[in-house]
Amino acid sequence: MALFYTRSAAVFGIDAHPIDVEVDMYPSGNSRDFVTVGMPDTAIRESRERIKSALLNSGFGYPSKSVTINLAPANVRKEGAGFDLPMALGILGAMGMVGTASDFILAGELSLDGTLRPVRGALSIAVCARRQGVANVIVPEENAAEAAVVEGVRVFGLGHLSDAVRLMNAEREYQPASARGVAVEVRADHVPDFADVRGQTTAKRALEVAAAGAHNVLMIGPPGSGKTMLAKRISGILPPLTFEEALETTKVHSVAGMLPKGAGLLTHRPFRAPHHTISDAGLIGGGAGSPRPGEVSLAHNGVLFLDEMPEFPRNVLEQLRQPLEEKSITVARSNMTLSFPAGFMLIAAMNPCPCGHYGDSTHECRCTGAIIQRYLGKISGPLLDRIDLHIEVPAVAYQELRSRQEGEPSAAIRERVERARTVQSARGFYNAHIPANQLRRICELDAAGERTLEMAVRRMGLSARAHDRVLKVARTLADLARDTAVSAKHVAEAVQYRSLDRGYWS
């Protein structure tokens, strides 16, 4: 009887957990069984055919014994083809062709000729190796750049099963992968510039305020007024990703299998714009088997843009409440409960009515009152309360549309945004995320500010949550103006960004 152990990792949520791969070989008469136990999914059970062909086509041969492989701990379901490599090397170890594998964590899918194919979650697997004190990680070559950003482990990106055997037997020296693509600046050529936008001074100011404090925005205006154009440019005025933000964002995209080929850390903030036909699992996360991150998690540390917001199913929109409030989403299934990060900025756009011309002096609205109310009713009051700024985006006047004068470039706006966020970072959080127990201290008002806020709450019928949103936006306006205290003028402007809060919907 021959026993051999290798080590791998399974990804749950955005984190990887260690898995021991135990390989046992023993004679069993004329039959040669290959059994995998430890709650494997279909992809792992099918790996026996890939492993057999890969071993034979790589010149290692295949044992004339029965093979049993246990993935421990056995009470946790394992998914994916990333266990092909540790299982194949475990078989070779039991055949006496590989030395000890205790100082390696292995992950990779095998082709029939022994070539290594990329897997999901390589960055999380490297983080797991560091956490477990394992010095070396072997992953497919295409996953090497993302895994190499983790300090404290040596990551080897290999192209073939035979390369892994040579490395573990010290038959050939391989150089660890370098951390490519770790620059965290936002390059201007990735995002359209605000200089292209004609008119819409109020809307651009509101988006600057939103970017400075990480606030959520709802834009309402007729078709062709520039709502989508404005939303696509907001990524260009957001500050660069910090290394910690880039690491967490990359982990989400790695687990979802959405990293570009050979990429390391993501270098710019994500901008996600799902279509209104998206399902609740597609937006929030989930799916069959182990839950996968949805659009709210893929937009983590970036922007989630919902164009034509009332066209989304109401049940899908209502599920945004938890991530908007808690900056994370919990997906519960019968076999596991996982949490994904969801710290995104929500930018939503909508027409004032189904035809788009309600309140337009130049076009006749064909919608009845009942149709308009049904259209607006898809956006509930609790969801509206979680959106900090509600702004109107009117049609652009002809003179502004034909003007040769360019608007303010994104670089100038981003400079002010970064300055305001630096002030907020010193407090420990962005203004949109100020904890309730610190709100009064950070957003303390003078007598004039108190009167202005009280008048707004009474006249507009703002809820307690909307009251807090006004205070947070006022704090951002003060930070942009480099004012230490929040005054009446900041409250007044913040209130203007809630002017559609109740009146428009009634």
List residues bridging with 332 in a β-sheet.
337
Residues 82 and 116 in one domain: yes
Structural contact between residues 267 and 314, judged by C-beta atoms closer than 8 angstroms: no
Residues 162 and 192 in one domain: no
Number of domains in the chain: 3
What is d(CA 244, CA 266) in angstroms, rounded to the nearest whole number? 11
The answer as to whether 176 is a domain residue is: no
Residues 154 and 194 in one domain: no
The answer as to whether 173 is a domain residue is: no
Decide which of 116, 140, 168 is a domain's last residue: 168
Residues 343 and 455 in one domain: no
Residues 310 and 442 in one domain: no
The answer as to whether 87 is a domain residue is: yes
368: tokens are: 């009845």
Average the pLDDT over each of 131-145, 211-225, 356-370 and give the range with the smallest value. 356-370
Residues 209 and 126 in one domain: no
What is d(CA 443, CA 470) in angstroms, rounded to the nearest whole number? 10
pLDDT for the residue numbered 358:
85
pLDDT band at 30 (very low <50, low <70, confident <90, very high): low
160: tokens are: 């073939």
The CA-atom distances, in angstroms, between 12 and each of 140, 148, 326, 329 are 20, 20, 20, 14
Decide which of 136, 168, 200 is a domain's last residue: 168
pLDDT for the residue numbered 1:
45
Residues 353 and 472 in one domain: no
The answer as to whether 417 is a domain residue is: no
Residues 198 and 343 in one domain: yes
Instruction: Give the N- to C-terminal CA distance of the chain in Å, as an integer.
Output: 78
- 43 contact partners, CB below 8 Å, separation of at least 6: 79, 80, 81
The answer as to whether 413 is a domain residue is: no
- 193 contact partners, CB below 8 Å, separation of at least 6: 233, 236, 409, 410
Residues 260 and 370 in one domain: yes
Which range in 106-115, 174-183, 350-359, 376-385 is most confidently predicted, on average pLDDT? 106-115
Mean pLDDT over each residue of the chain, to the nearest integer: 89
Decide which of 408, 426, 449 is a domain's last residue: 408
The answer as to whether 21 is a domain residue is: yes
pLDDT for the residue numbered 101:
85
Residues 382 and 236 in one domain: yes
Residue 233 predicted with pLDDT over 50 = yes
Domain of residue 152, residue span: 2-168
**CATH number for position 345:** 3.40.50.300
pLDDT for the residue numbered 113:
95
The answer as to whether 500 is a domain residue is: yes
The CA-atom distances, in angstroms, between 384 and each of 229, 377, 387 are 22, 11, 5
What is d(CA 99, CA 145) in angstroms, rounded to the nearest whole number? 27
pLDDT band at 498 (very low <50, low <70, confident <90, very high): confident
**CATH number for position 13:** 3.30.230.10
pLDDT band at 506 (very low <50, low <70, confident <90, very high): low
The answer as to whether 425 is a domain residue is: no
Residues 261 and 309 in one domain: yes
Residue 208 predicted with pLDDT over 80 = yes
Residue 127 predicted with pLDDT over 70 = yes
Residues 229 and 279 in one domain: yes
What is d(CA 358, CA 351) in angstroms, rounded to the nearest whole number? 9
Residue 306 predicted with pLDDT over 90 = yes
Q: How large a percentage of the chain has pLDDT more than 70? A: 95
Query: What is the β-pairing status of strands 345-350 and 303-306?
Result: parallel
B/e letters for 162-197, b = 16+ CB within 10 Å, e = fewer, are bbbbebbeeeeeeeebebebbebebeeeebbbbbeb
pLDDT for the residue numbered 183:
43
